[in-house]
């Protein structure tokens, strides 16, 4: 068994010992072992299709089809819809996990793990729309279709038919420059990597806050974006500094001196207005820093581009794996740390 799987199994069993009734704990290890030894591989024979609409995307009319993602507006062009393929890890677990508490824990984890894959593929699209069109879309719209189908040679045809049934769309492929740029970003952004996912979560959140005229909060979230990139540099580029992590990160990404000054100023404003209650000028933030904020967004966007391109050439988390069971073996611990509530529950119990 893969080393990551053993570590994942150990972590999950430790969690079960302190969170499940004692009678269920005794059954947990055997059930989890059966899931990891057999169920995950069996799931490669089927796949789930999820289709959702994106909020605030009604202006865009683009059709894009790949093996894993479909993008197109519905027939009335009310919004873009995104269809994705995702693993079926959360299906069929009741046959393995007979104990209700065991089933509840294991099925919820694999629900969140499958959900993370689907969300990541949708966030790739949302992030691309933001980079190209400046839109702050959200996959949590008001329509969702989800079902399981065999993972056969005809799965792409079934995927396209399901998307057409749900959206009544007519695909069009006459791309202009912006549409080609959008496709470029969709192919490059890989939010299956938790660092990249967190970068875009904070950046899109910052855009939403700024659009809502919550300027101080937007600055805080924008600086969080840079902070995640600093964490990426530490973990993925082996760039470590005690007091100057930002400076080392910006040097590594070859940001200009002017860009470094802007990002230092962004950090200072976050500390003065966002990280702590401001001592002065709390009513005047938007007026004083209006021009600066636009520059902050532009320089952070440039830093994001450099981070995305670095991830592309130094990929750790495969974006389009041939086998989801092999992908899970390699990234089980990443999923544990990314989707499970172990740390949160320790603070809310």
CATH number at residue 225: 1.20.120.330
Q: Is residue 247 part of a domain?
A: yes
Q: Is residue 289 part of a domain?
A: yes
Same-domain status, 157 and 216? no
Q: Is residue 187 part of a domain?
A: no
Query: Where do the DSSP E strands lie in 54-200?
Result: 64-65, 69-73, 80-86, 144-150
The full 3-state SS of 160-172, as one line of letters, equals: HHHHHHHHCCCCC
Same-domain status, 105 and 165? yes
Give Cα separations from 336 to 1, 5, 244, 307 (angstroms). Answer: 17, 11, 30, 24
Task: Find out whether 225 and 299 touch, Cβ atoms under 8 Å.
Answer: no
Same-domain status, 93 and 39? yes
**How would you class 213 by CB atoms within 10 Å of its CB: exposed for 0-12, middle for 13-18, buried for 19 or more?**
exposed
CA 100 – CA 261 distance, rounded (Å): 56
Q: Is residue 133 part of a domain?
A: yes
Same-domain status, 8 and 123? yes
Going by C-alpha positions, the residue among 86, 126, 133, 138 that lies closest to residue 110 is 86
Task: Find out whether 196 and 177 touch, Cβ atoms under 8 Å.
Answer: no
Tokens of 233: 């540099």
Q: Is residue 134 part of a domain?
A: yes
Q: Return the residue matching tokens 């400076």.
A: 247
Output the pLDDT for position 2: 72
Going by C-alpha positions, the residue among 232, 302, 234, 228 that lies closest to residue 262 is 302
Same-domain status, 94 and 222? no
* Total Cβ atoms within 10 A of residue 164: 16
Same-domain status, 333 and 258? no
Alpha helices in 140-193 (DSSP H): 155-167, 177-188
Same-domain status, 165 and 121? yes
Q: 3-class DSSP state for residue 268?
A: helix
Same-domain status, 68 and 170? yes
Same-domain status, 253 and 309? yes
Output the pLDDT for position 345: 59
Pairs from 38-43 (Cβ < 8 Å, separation ≥ 24)? 38/96, 39/89, 39/92, 39/93, 39/96, 40/89, 40/324, 40/325, 40/328, 40/329, 41/325, 42/92, 43/87, 43/88, 43/89, 43/91, 43/92, 43/324, 43/325
Please, what are the averages of pLDDT over each run of 10 residues along the chain (349 residues)? 86 94 94 96 96 91 93 90 96 95 96 97 97 93 90 93 92 86 96 98 96 92 97 95 87 96 92 75 75 93 98 97 96 95 60
Same-domain status, 295 and 324? no
Same-domain status, 135 and 225? no
Output the pLDDT for position 349: 41
Q: Is residue 186 part of a domain?
A: no
Task: Find out whether 112 and 58 touch, Cβ atoms under 8 Å.
Answer: no
Q: Is residue 185 part of a domain?
A: no
* DSSP letters spanning 293-320: HHHHHHHHHHHHHHHHHHHHHT-SS-SS
State how many domains the chain has. 2
Output the pLDDT for position 270: 87
Same-domain status, 328 and 294? no
Q: Is residue 31 part of a domain?
A: yes
Task: Find out whether 42 and 328 touch, Cβ atoms under 8 Å.
Answer: no
H/E run at residue 204: helix 194-211
Its domain, for residue 124, covers 3-178+318-348
């Amino acid at each position: 068994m893969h080393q990551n799987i053993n570590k994942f199994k150990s972590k999950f069993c430790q969690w079960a010992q302190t969170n499940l009734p004692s009678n269920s704990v005794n059954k947990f290890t055997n059930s989890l072992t059966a899931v990891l030894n057999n169920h995950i591989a069996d799931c490669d024979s089927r796949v789930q299709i999820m289709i959702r609409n994106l909020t605030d995307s009604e202006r865009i009319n683009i059709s894009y089809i790949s093996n894993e993602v479909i993008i197109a507006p519905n027939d009335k062009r009310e919004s873009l819809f995104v269809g994705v393929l995702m693993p079926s890890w959360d299906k069929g677990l009741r046959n393995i996990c007979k104990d209700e508490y065991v089933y509840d824990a294991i099925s919820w984890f694999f629900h969140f793990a499958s959900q993370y894959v689907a969300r990541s593929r949708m966030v790739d699209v949302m992030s691309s729309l933001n980079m190209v069109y400046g839109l702050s879309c959200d996959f949590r719209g008001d329509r969702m279709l989800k079902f399981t189908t065999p993972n056969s040679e005809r799965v792409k045809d079934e995927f396209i038919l399901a998307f057409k049934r749900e959206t009544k769309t007519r695909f069009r492929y006459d791309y202009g420059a912006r549409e080609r740029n959008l496709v470029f970003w969709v192919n490059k952004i890989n939010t299956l990597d938790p660092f990249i996912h967190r970068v875009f979560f904070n950046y899109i959140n910052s855009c939403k806050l700024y659009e809502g005229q919550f300027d101080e909060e937007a600055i805080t979230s924008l600086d969080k974006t840079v902070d995640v990139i600093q964490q990426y540099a530490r973990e993925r580029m082996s760039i470590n500094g005690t007091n100057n992590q930002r400076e080392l990160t910006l040097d590594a990404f070859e940001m200009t001196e002017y860009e470094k000054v802007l990002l230092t100023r962004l950090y200072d404003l976050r500390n003065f207005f966002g990280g702590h209650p401001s001592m002065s000028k709390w009513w005047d933030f938007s007026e004083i820093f209006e021009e600066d904020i636009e520059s902050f967004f532009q320089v952070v966007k440039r830093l994001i581009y450099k981070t995305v391109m670095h991830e592309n050439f130094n990929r750790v988390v495969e974006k389009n794996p041939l086998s989801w069971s092999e992908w899970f073996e390699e990234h089980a611990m990443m999923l544990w740390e990314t989707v499970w509530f172990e740390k949160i529950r320790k603070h809310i119990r």
